[in-house]
Amino acid sequence: MIENSTERSGIEFINSFSHSGKPVKDLGRIRRLLSALGDPQNDLCFVHVAGTNGKGSVCEMLSRIFINAGLKTGCFTSPFIVHYNDRIRINGEDIADDELDEIAQQVKKRAELSPDRRDFSQFEISQAIAFLYFAKHNCSIVVLETGLGGLLDCTNVIASPLLTVITTIDLDHTAILGDTIAEIAAQKAGIIKPGVPCVLSPYNPQEAVDTVTSTALQKHSKLIIPDTSRLRVKRSDESGSEFEYKGRNYTLSMGGRHQIKNALSVIEGCEILKEKLRLSDEDICLGISQAVLPARVEVLCSSPLTILDGAHNPDGLGALSGVLEGCAKKCFALIGMCADKNIDEAVKKLIPYVDRFYTVDGFSDRAISKSELALRINSLGGKAQECSMPIGDQIKALQAANADGITLICGSLYLAALVKNQLNTKGV
């Protein structure tokens, strides 16, 4: 379910569709729906972002840069963290409830007449709403994040973006995208369009680099991979980073060294768009420093240090482990994960840096049971036990028991969303 609401007609409509919809073999279904709505995407300019991890951070940095340059900037991301509206934004502001409901009714009228009406996913319906919203408000540029993969992702219905960006590629959603890095990379590279430049994040596995390079050559797309030999990291910790790239200094407000590689991709992408979108060096530096996202090494409290992170796959939890390694403090982790993730490989990344895990469930209908998760962690050499109290109370208990160390909440964006919403209502 998107949200629990009986009053919001738009949310009720979106909730009437399944999470994933009927499996697709092409983009015909979304094309037909958008055509019935007047093809709003044809009135918009896009930067299209795919990848396993880092998409949200890259989208946020790009959005902030474009806003600084005076561009009316739409941004479509997933999943939401605090509430549904935060995945559809213009100039950093969430779509208003009444406008979401109004546009959802437009989509509903067309969807109900469609032969595909029982097959749509929540994501497809959300995308249609977003495109109508961005077109209605005459956005100058839209930063568009893929939902799953790229080649057959419904966002790939757009014809010719100004730029594509592919972030870190790792094993995730293997049942749908393939069970090798090369297969998954081929899906992500599906967003590359003929003649449109593409930026690929640095430090990707060689199989991913080879696959994306091959696709770019076939599409006559200029491929740029940031030159890490020209990177000098001055500082990087849970509060952010300072680094020099190609002789210019940058500051990041999002914690973790992994955000630097996202920033490098943004810098290279903006270099390509600089003249066309009239981006200044100041716009780029300021946008990168302004970008913050919930549940990406988010420091909820500095004393005791409490970190919220939504990473849920091996690469994401590997990046999180790098942050913990730099902190060098005793760490108690409240963890919950979805059963369809590569749990064992992901948890292995954290075990060396977490003194004790406390497992939870109930935050998603796809969550692995807390008893099974504790068993898995213990079998891998970690120390884990099931939580015996409500999540908010458990967090407070860990903070009290480890006041000089780190309390970490991690394993799923769905868990992160639950914690964020508790913070907004009664505090944690």
422: number of Cβ within 10 Å: 15
pLDDT of residue 419: 92
Burial of 60 (0-12, 13-18, 19+ CB in 10 A): buried
Q: Spell out the domain ranges in the chain.
A: 9-290, 298-425
Q: What is the percentage of the chain residues whose pLDDT exceeds 70?
A: 95
pLDDT of residue 120: 96
Cα 237 to Cα 241: distance, rounded to the nearest angstrom: 6
Tell how many helices (H) and how many strands (E) occur in the chain: 15, 17
> Tokens in use for 295?
């549940």
Which residue has better confidence, 364 or 41?
A: 41
Cα 142 to Cα 17: distance, rounded to the nearest angstrom: 25
Under CATH, which architecture does the 9-290 domain have? 3-Layer(aba) Sandwich (3.40)
Note the CATH number of domain 298-425. Answer: 3.90.190.20
| 171 pLDDT more than 80 | no
pLDDT of residue 6: 40
Residues paired with residue 163 on neighbouring β-strands, in sequence order: 47
Task: Tell me which amino acid residue 243 is.
Answer: F
Q: What is the SS3 assignment for 305?
A: strand
Task: Tell me which amino acid residue 418 is.
Answer: L
Check: pTM over 0.85? Answer yes or no: yes
> Tokens in use for 63?
């959005």
Place of tokens 């430090």: 203
For 275-286, the pLDDT digits (tens) are: 999 999 999 999
Cα 214 to Cα 208: distance, rounded to the nearest angstrom: 10
pLDDT of residue 265: 98
Place of tokens 């079998």: 379
